[in-house]
Amino acid sequence: MRDVVSPDSLRDAVDATGFSPAVRAGDFLFLTGATGGAPDGTMPDSVSEQCHNALAKVVEVLKAADLDANAVVDLTSYHTDIETDFAAVDAVLRAVLSEPLPAWTAVEVARLRRPGARIEFRIVAHAPNTTTKP
């Protein structure tokens, strides 16, 4: 069974793209990739600011599923310049996520879909279904 999780604040993005911000499948929540665009649509130059923006979106989606950042069990980060940006990304992730940290894979890519994006996060969260079936 798949259930879509979609915060009201992302309604315009969902309408524009047709993609779900997150899909719950069994006891896991799979989030759509999050880049670091600002709420006004601009893309900051700073990779740290992009990380904070992207993780704020992640936390918003998790909250819509009645979860918090502690639910994150798997994270994939896509970097356009991993050598330059990794330390800053690592610092932001450690500030936002609590220990034990989730499993993490970091990958360098040629570019990301959003112009100016330097980082994108792909998140899987543990989201046990607490409803009981009759």
> What are the pLDDT tens digits along the chain (134 aa)?
578 787 888 777 777 877 889 999 999 999 999 999 998 889 999 999 999 999 999 999 999 999 999 999 999 999 999 999 999 999 999 999 989 999 999 999 999 999 999 999 999 999 987 664 54
Question: CATH code for 31-125?
Answer: 3.30.1330.40
Q: How many CA atoms lie within 13 A of 103 on its CB side?
A: 5
Neighbouring residues of 122: CB distance < 8 A, sequence distance ≥ 6: 31, 33, 75, 76, 77, 78
Task: State whether residue 23 is helix, strand or coil.
Answer: strand
The pLDDT value recorded for residue 31 is 96
Amino acid at 37: G
The domain spans of the chain are 31-125
The pLDDT value recorded for residue 39 is 86
The pLDDT value recorded for residue 1 is 58
The pLDDT value recorded for residue 20 is 86
Residues in the chain: 134
